[in-house]
Amino acid sequence: MASISQLVKFAILAFVVVKMSKDSIFQVVEGDYCYEIACVWEGQGEMLPWILLHPIAPLAIAKQEASGVLQTDEPLHIEPRVFKRLKRWTKAATNTFKVRFGGFVVVHLYAKIGTTEELKSLVLSEPNLSPVVHGPRCSTYIREAIARYRVTVGAWGPGLLPECHESMRKTLRFVDSWASQCGKTLYCLGHTPNGYPLRAADPSLKRETRLSPLGELDVWD
């Protein structure tokens, strides 16, 4: 399957496959880092990569059996609500780009798995930390996603704290330069007041929200 061909290289990683309905979900996890989450529902379609801020701490996906026994599948490092949104927007993108999408891929700026509070603590302890270098393979996965697929979507938001501004601005420049080198345009779901791409969990986003070019942003000045 073309969308996960690179995973073969990393046999030493924790490679988790979870079945949800007719979807196949793949995670690339190495220690405390989650580098990629892929959801495939149609093997012949193109994959749409999304760049999010960070993977969340394990949240077990629970299902109640008829017997009343609660069972849990392997935990996914993405909020269920965000997962559903990405799937819906990816399917809608077929009409926007006239490309048949059969799944999506998530990569992260901060690859370290943790809660939002843990990530805030990390940022405060290292205020000049550039997100794309936080994780041994973080930059590699972002670069490969941009280079491999036709369209890439930024949906990471402005960061967690005002102290993040400088590192987030630096990150935005990095990601845009990688896209430019590949002759690609970054897309987003909309912009924050200061020009960052809206995060996928932003409550202002609607079901009918469509992707648009990220464009020239004020934060670059």
pLDDT band at 131 (very low <50, low <70, confident <90, very high): low
Provide the residue ranges of all domains of the chain, joining segments of one domain with +.
2-7+14-220
> What is the value of pTM for the model shown?
0.81
- Count CB atoms within 10 A of the CB of residue 88: 13
Per-residue pLDDT band for 92 (boundaries 50, 70, 90) equals very high
* pLDDT at 73 (0 to 100): 57
For residue 94, is pLDDT > 80?
yes
| Cβ(50)–Cβ(145) below 8 Å | no
Q: Which residues contact 102 (CB under 8 A, 6 or more apart)?
A: 3, 40, 41, 42, 43, 44, 45, 46, 47
The CA distance from 35 to 109, in Å, is: 9
Residue 161 reports pLDDT greater than 80: no
Task: Give the pLDDT band (50/70/90) at residue 133.
Answer: low
pLDDT of 170 strictly over 70: yes
Radius of gyration for the chain, computed over Cα atoms and rounded to the nearest angstrom: 17
> Measured over all CA atoms, what is the biggest interatomic distance in the chain, rounded to whole angstroms?
60
* pLDDT in the model for residue 138: 86
- Find the mean pLDDT for residues 49-69: 63
Cβ(58)–Cβ(75) under 8 Å? yes
Rounded CA separation 58/39 (Å): 17
Q: How confident is the model at residue 123 (pLDDT cuts 50, 70, 90)?
A: confident
Q: Give the mean model confidence (pLDDT) for residues 161-166.
A: 68
Please state, in angstroms and rounded to a whole number, the distance separating the CA atoms of residues 153 and 52.
9
Angle between helices 138-148 and 165-181 (to 10 degrees): 40
Query: Which pLDDT score is estimated for 59?
Result: 52
pLDDT digits (tens, 9 = 90+) for 175-199: 888 999 999 999 999 988 877 899 9
**For position 71, what pLDDT does the model report?**
40
Q: Quick check: 63 pLDDT over 50?
A: no
